[in-house]
Amino acid sequence: MEIRIIENTQNQECDVLIVNKFENENTISEIANKYAVEEDKFEGKLGETYILPTYGQEKHRKIIVIGFGKKEEFNPNKLREAIVKATKKAISIEAKTVAFKLEGVEFDYSEQFTFAVKIADYKFDKYKSEKKDKKIDLIYVEACEHIVRKAEKIADAMAFTRNLANEPAQFATPSELASIACDLGLETIIYSKDECEKMGMGAFLAVGRGSSEEPKFIHMKYTCENPKKRIALVGKGITFDSGGLDIKPASSMLTMKDDMSGAACVLGVMSIIKELAPQVEVHGIIAACENMPGCSAYKPGDILTAKNGKTIEVDNTDAEGRLTLADALCYASELKVDEVIDLATLTGACMVALGTQAAGIMGNDSELVKNLILTAENSGERFWELPLWEEYADSLKSDIADMKNTGSRWGGASTAGIFLKKFVKDIKWAHIDIAGVAFFENAHKELGKGASGAGVRTLLKYLLEQ
């Protein structure tokens, strides 16, 4: 799909012209007003569409009118949602060239428009034997060129992440993630199992013991001249989570290929970072492994020693992500970066608390957390701060080790956050629990079923704003 910037889209020859209508206001197209509004009483509620053939009276074969809802309630998120629906409608009628003429929008829509048409164009059909070749080749829009081009790159990174998280676990193995990382053209180190053992990563390695897949610890680095800041991004990389010996019910395993969505996000960010060239040094870190119940699997009651020397009693082998992140956070802390941000499909408790509407965020620095929440809001994502009170640590106490890997079922997302905090030393840190927003079993707002690319837009915008 090519997005072309022109000055007057209404007079552009194309298959479809898409115009907008706010409730209680007319569109800019006379023919659309006559038929859609006056004759068929199209109201323009958010996301509603009306298709009008032009019968040769216009330079376009058809007009699609998209409802923008009440003008006083309209915002960038609603614009993105509406544009996705309009674009998908154009795709469904096999339009190849589409022009958008948007009127009455009182903010620069260049970025969110670009995200929308790229999201609408996305599909994961790699494993379909018969592929439907419905797509728009060319989109005309009146927008800001440089904002559109930057947004295209961010949207491409989002698609990269969605593709990777949609892949079955038989493809997206730890070795495959390592191979992908090496192909990104960045300074990259892949640590083997033996090297991780020498570094003392007893928590991470324990999780991978029950699988025939070799664990891989991945460190990618992007830098520039005189970086303003040094930031480590840590992504949870469980490429399949069976629950280990505390095995999950079969129905709960169906989407566990998505348990590496944090890692997919980090890889997506790093895939485009050289082109976007933020003025910061960025480290992408992934502890990748499978959590399987093989004959060598770690067991409830085992005592593990993390990279920083802290000992952990295994209370439940299905609380594995925090164990891999523990060693990854220790490693990131040793890099002496200014900030560490981790993303993980970490707890069902976060999904119970926030549903599929927001990711949970917590951290040891209120300014960092607030900045990430604001950046998420401006990029079209939602983060909601959860408490990180030290009282949550009480349920993690162990009689025979420094801590257990699980605590009370109450406040489970914050308890997991407190656990992770024990492995971050003297560095600003934020933890983003994307359990509820990384993978949708049904279409969700502008996003379809499957992987959502959670975190990509927010992290890239955050890096670019430093």
Q: Which residues are catalytic?
A: 248, 322
Rounded CA-CA distance 6/14 in Å is 13
Rounded CA-CA distance 335/329 in Å is 10
Say which residues have a Cβ less than 8 Å from residue 430's Cβ, sequence separation at least 6: 339, 340, 341, 342, 361, 362, 363, 365, 368, 369, 372
Tell me the DSSP string of 318-385. T--HHHHHHHHHHHHHHTT-SEEEEEE---HHHHHHHTTS-EEEEES-HHHHHHHHHHHHHHT--EEE
71 to each of 46, 88, 146, 359, how far by Cα in Å?
Answer: 10, 23, 27, 28
What is the DSSP pairing of strand 138-141 with strand 2-5? parallel
Calculate the CA 211 to chain-centre distance.
Answer: 27
Say which residues have a Cβ less than 8 Å from residue 129's Cβ, sequence separation at least 6: none
Q: What stretches of 49-151 adopt beta strand conformation (E)?
A: 49-53, 60-69, 97-101, 138-141
436 to each of 136, 234, 269, 317, 344, how far by Cα in Å?
Answer: 31, 18, 20, 21, 10
Q: 451 near 165, Cβ under 8 Å?
A: yes
